[in-house]
A and B are shown apart, each in its own frame.
Chain A
């Protein structure tokens, strides 16, 4: 295995770990708001690490750019989706767990 493979594998495994932690949070956290925290933040970082791990192996700069673009689009979607879900929950009168 070359150094690139090692770096890439490390990033991918770490990224997968954050997805796993996000899912653990989804299952363990008590209400919709805290679960949103787990999903948006852990998955944002997990996907970022996976994209970085794949970009290291990319055949061209353009392919790496495409991966970065995917990460950016997911970030935008998850930030706004998270806000909308939280707002809808608040407007329906779901009280945050304390």
Chain B
């Protein structure tokens, strides 16, 4: 794939210009008269974003795979917790689970920590060094396997390989 290697600044610039243009278009609901001012702010916002944050390596394929995964798991998460809340017997068995990160520190970890709270039965509570304390709603569910699956997906999205050898293979696809 041509996305390999260090991310060229030109691509990042083009991507951010496109994103901010899209944002302006959405916010003004496509009024043509807003563009003289809008293009100025798009350029300013792009310059500011480049000053504040360096290019982030990410994978288009990883993103395309992550979005349906996230939507499906959000749906499952919402249905699961709604069901548990409404059943008279209140079927929960909460507890804290310690999960050892395979992802390196940085954006990918922060992203994963945030996403965990939106997935079925898990809630990220605390990070100590390489360990994540996850509150689970039901200890009988296989949360650890879910977390590992999520970690692989997030790794593929940010183009970093989780450190265990067997997952690096799935990374390159």
**Interface residues of A, Cβ cutoff 8 Å to B:** 17-18, 21-22, 24-25, 28-29, 31, 33-34, 36-38, 40-42, 44-46, 48, 60-63, 65-66, 69, 75-76, 78-80, 82-83, 86-87, 89-91, 96-98
Contacts and interface: CB of A to CB of B under 8 A. Distances in A.
B120 A83 contact: no
B109 interface: no
B30 interface: yes
Given A66-B27, A96-B95, A38 B81 contact: yes
B26 A25 contact: no
A87 B118 contact: no
Contacts of B118: 40-41, 44, 75, 78-79
B25 interface: yes
B79 interface: yes
Contact of A96 (B85, B94, B113): B94
A62 B26 contact: yes
A90 B22 CA distance: 40
Contacts of A69: 23, 26
Interface SS of A by simple majority: helix
A88 to B, nearest CB: 10
A80 B114 contact: yes
Nearest to B134: A86
B154 interface: no
25 contacts: A21-B83, A21-B85, A28-B85, A33-B123, A37-B121, A40-B123, A42-B82, A42-B85, A44-B77, A44-B118, A45-B75, A45-B78, A48-B74, A62-B25, A62-B28, A65-B22, A66-B26, A75-B118, A79-B114, A86-B117, A86-B124, A86-B126, A96-B94, A96-B135, A98-B93
Top 6 closest pairs, chain A to chain B, by CB: A45-B78, A25-B85, A21-B82, A79-B114, A65-B26, A86-B125
Interface core residue of A31, A79, A90, A97 (most chain B CB under 10 Å): A79
